[in-house]
Amino acid sequence: MRRPSTLTAYAFLYLVFLYLPVLFLPLFSFNSGTIVAFPIKGWTLDWYRKLGEQDTLIQALWNSLGVGTVVALLSTAMGLFAARAFVRYRFRGQRAAEGLVMLPLVIPGIIVASSMLVLFLFIGLKPSLLTVVLGHTFLALPFSVSILKSAFDDFDASLEEASYDLGVGVFDTFRRVTLPVVSPGIVASLLVTFTVSFDEFVLAFFLSGNQPTLPVYIWSQIRFPAKLPNVLALGSILLLSSVLLLVLAEYFRRRSSASGVQ
Amino acid sequence: MTEKNIIELRGVEKRYGTFLAASGIDLDLKEGEFFSLLGPSGCGKTTVLRMIAGFQEPTKGTVLIDGQDMDGVPANNRPTNMVFQSYAIFPHLNVGNNVAYGLRGKAPKAEIDQRVAEALEMVELGGLEDRGASELSGGQRQRVALARALIMRPKVLLLDEPLSALDKKLREQMQFEMRNLQQSLGITFVMVTHDQYEAMTMSDRIGVMFNGRLKQVDTPTTLYARPCDQQVASFIGEMNILPAQLLEENGDTLSIDAKAFGQMEIEKNPNVATSARDMNIGIRPEQLEITSEKPEDYPSTVQGKVSNVAFYGENIHYHIQVAETDKPISVSVPNYFHTVDFNRGDAVWLGVQSASVIDLGTDTE
């Protein structure tokens, strides 16, 4: 091994700068004092215990879980067809189509959020969980398309041909060969898109009306200093579950790559 | 093999944009024959196979299988099955379910199980039903792919470079096994390959393709002895191609001046399209005699110098530079007594019988 260089030191400092603030969140969630500052007064699990007693919080959690689930299913289903088309076929306007699908990654969220709100109001759709689902699906689609595209990239096209050749039609081939072979990619896409939706704030803030999702609820609670430790506890749980979901998703994504290798 | 045509291609053409992948393909394949499409990569042989399988539609012409026009018939409704170059073993299914794949829902379970067992027995994988797809070796994958296709009892089995993924020893063993399998089943096999030895050892007939065109269709021995032109001659085995002049044509005999080897009478090659005054002749390296003294029992001889020696084990290849030709002449001698008789720089004589000299006609291209 090489001895640590200035570059290593830089990388270390960079990571500390990036993740230390995030680590303060769980640290202070165990602090018995209500002020978020050192020194820590004492250790407690009270803030976690109190989470279960707050009905509006539980309602917001259910809202988020529901929206996340529907968004994951919708964007993964659409991403599946889009990804297969992008990898398998060459068609006119393909690059433009691929670019347009990926666009939500780079458009500022505030622009998307405000223009969607205007659009939905214009067509008479009141802000609700439904509009949040629509907005989040738009946002999550690039994630599911790119994950599933890599799943299809590793998928030997002659597997589908072999199935046709053995007398099985297009629909049954999709069900009996395509879906099972890309299923790890599908699971990865479901997990990632769920997480994207679950953590999203700006669109949800604009489009949720009086049905807040969890991040919107948290934002509303930050105004009350007494509630802050509570929010920290909730945030820590969200942080942990998001990381777990993404690790799980990455595991499945790699498994989908590995299964394609002959 | 019967005289009945199982596959007929009539004026088949496949065009991708401006690129002509295959054109003017007319081909009759007999029931029960082992036929190979041979050619360099990109010559259109796989395109022809895929048009028979139904993965591609011809731009022009007709494909008939067992007398039925296949126009508009998708791959899943054709009486053909295919062994893919990558073998395309379904990674999420075990061996038994891979082989049973095409029968699921079309036969009772007990019958499927029995047919799977028989098919696996046939490819010498008996009892491996529960083996996972990822636990198979290259040779086993190939056998599973064969069993999976043959269990469908196709009229024609299509094989796309079936042996190219295997190592040399296994490839040679599978050549014999596949040939035996084909003969015991009596099914027509159509194989695509770029390996001339593979094609020659396994096939009843071979179709040689270049640049999207079918150049010659013949038995391996005829292809080797009477190739239709220089291109085919040098693709099938090794061939010394020498310039010659046509002096006189007498029925089936040509009187020629073979430059280096002098004047001789050779048999006219019926597969050659045109013969003009300037023509080419071909001599196989193993049909030349190499000696240190002028060989008495050979009517045509030439003197030269050894420019290269290559020891192959079962035979020895010499390159002989002669005054009359630009390229050295290749000679192959069997290794009879574990000796290499000539070295670089040695003066030698080459002799040939006129019966070994092949008329290659005049290339118009």
Domains and their CATH numbers in chain B: 5-225 (3.40.50.300), 230-359 (2.40.50.100)
Over residues A88-127, the pLDDT tens digits come to: 888 888 899 999 999 988 989 899 999 999 999 999 888 8
Share of chain B above pLDDT 90, in %: 61
Distance of CA A11 to the CA centre of its chain: 27
What is the DSSP code string of B131-151?
-BGGG--HHHHHHHHHHHHHT
- Here the ipTM equals 0.83
Sign of CA dihedral B197, B199, B202, B203: negative
A3-7, A73-77, B351-355: range with highest mean pLDDT: A73-77
Summarize pLDDT for B213-245 with one digit per residue, the tens: 999 999 999 999 999 988 899 899 899 999 898
Residue A256 pLDDT > 70: no
Order across the sheet with B5-16: list the strands: B19-30, B5-16, B60-65, B68-69
Could you tell me which chain B residue has the CA closest to the CA of A167? Answer: B76
Within chain A, where are the H helices? 6-29, 46-51, 55-88, 94-102, 109-122, 129-153, 158-165, 170-173, 179-199, 202-207, 214-221, 228-260
Task: Please state the separation of Cα B48 from the chain's center in Å.
Answer: 15
Considering only CA atoms, which of B63, B54, B98, B66 is closest in space to residue B2?
Answer: B66
Contacts 24+ apart (CB under 8 A), B16-21: B20/B212, B21/B47, B21/B212
Check B76 against A169: CB less than 8 A apart.
yes
- Nearest neighbour of A181 by CB, restricted to B85, B91, B101: B91
Q: Which residues in A lie closer than 8 A to residue B115 (C-beta atoms)?
A: none
Question: What is the residue-averaged pLDDT of chain B?
Answer: 90
Say whether residue A76 is in contact with chain B using an 8 A CB cutoff: no
Q: Which residue has the higher pLDDT, B116 or A151?
A: B116
Say if B86 is an interface residue toward chain A (CB within 8 Å): yes
What gap in Å lies between CA B234 and CA B225, rounded to an integer?
A: 12
Q: What is the pLDDT of residue A262?
A: 35
Distance from CA of B288 to the nearest CA of A (A): 46
Helix, coil or strand: residue B95: helix
Say if residue B165's pLDDT is above 90. Answer: no
Question: Rounded mean pLDDT of chain A?
Answer: 86
- The DSSP line for B170-183 is HHHHHHHHHHHHHH
Is it the case that residue A2 has pLDDT exceeding 80? no
Instruction: Determine the pLDDT at residue B73.
Output: 93
Residue A148: what residue type?
L
Tokens for A85, please give them.
Answer: 């088309």
Average pLDDT of the residues in B330-336: 92
Measure the CA–CA gap between B156 and B135, rounded to whole angstroms.
29
Give the residue among A53, A49, A59, A64 at the shortest CA–CA distance from A233. Answer: A49
B90:A260 CB<8 A: no
CB distance A165–B77 less than 8 Å? no
Mean pLDDT throughout A206-233?
Answer: 84
Name the token pair of A148: 């599933």
- The mean-pLDDT minimum among A2-16, A142-156, B6-20 falls in A2-16
| Closest by Cβ to B88, choosing from A162, A183, A259 | A162
Residue B262, pLDDT score: 85
d(CA B166, CA B105): 33
The distance of B75 to chain A (nearest Cα, Å) reads 5
pLDDT interval class at A1 (50, 70, 90): low
Q: What secondary structure letter does DSSP report for B2?
A: -
Smallest CA–CA distance, residue B102 to chain A, in Å, is 5
What pLDDT score was predicted for residue B364? Answer: 65
Q: At residue A134, does pLDDT exceed 80?
A: yes
Inter-chain residue contact B91 with A168, CB threshold 8 Å? no
**E strand or H helix at B267, and its extent?**
strand B263-267
Q: Each residue of B28-58: pLDDT tens digit?
A: 999 999 999 999 988 999 999 999 999 999 9
- Phi first, then psi, for residue B258 (nearest 5°) are -90, 30
Q: Give the predicted TM-score (pTM) of the model.
A: 0.79
Residue B19, pLDDT above cutoff 60: yes
- What count of CB pairs under 8 Å joins A to B? 63
Give φ, ψ of A49 to 5 degrees: -60, -40
Whether residue A39 has a cis bond before it, omega within 30° of 0 = yes
Q: Which of A18-32, A83-97, B335-349 has the lowest mean pLDDT?
A: A18-32
CA B149, CA B159: separation in Å to the nearest integer?
A: 10
Please report, as a single letter, which amino acid is at residue B170.
Answer: L
Q: Is B56 on the interface with A (CB under 8 A)?
A: no
**pLDDT band at A260, cuts 50/70/90?**
very low
Query: What letter would DSSP give residue A43?
Result: B
| Residue A261, pLDDT score | 39
pLDDT tens, A157-202? 899 999 999 999 999 999 999 988 888 889 889 999 999 999 899 9
Share of chain A above pLDDT 90, in %: 38
**pLDDT at residue B1 in the model:** 59
Distance between CA atoms of residues B250 and B252, nearest Å: 6
What does the alpha-carbon distance between residue B174 and residue B168 come to, in Å, rounded to a whole number?
A: 10
- Domain A43-260 in CATH 3.30.950.10? The answer is no
Search chain A and give the residue with CA nearest B89: A159
How many angstroms away from the CA of B81 is the closest CA of chain A? 6
The reply to whether residue B101 touches residue A159, judged by beta carbons under 8 angstroms, is no
| A4 in contact with B, Cβ within 8 Å | no
Binary contact (B77, A167; C-beta < 8 A): yes
Quick one: pLDDT at residue B42?
A: 87
Residue A34 has pLDDT above 80, yes or no: no
Q: Which of residues 162-201 of A touch B (CB under 8 A)?
A: 162-169, 176-177, 180-181, 183
Of the candidates B213, B236, B228, B178, the one whose C-alpha atom is nearest the C-alpha of residue B45 is: B213
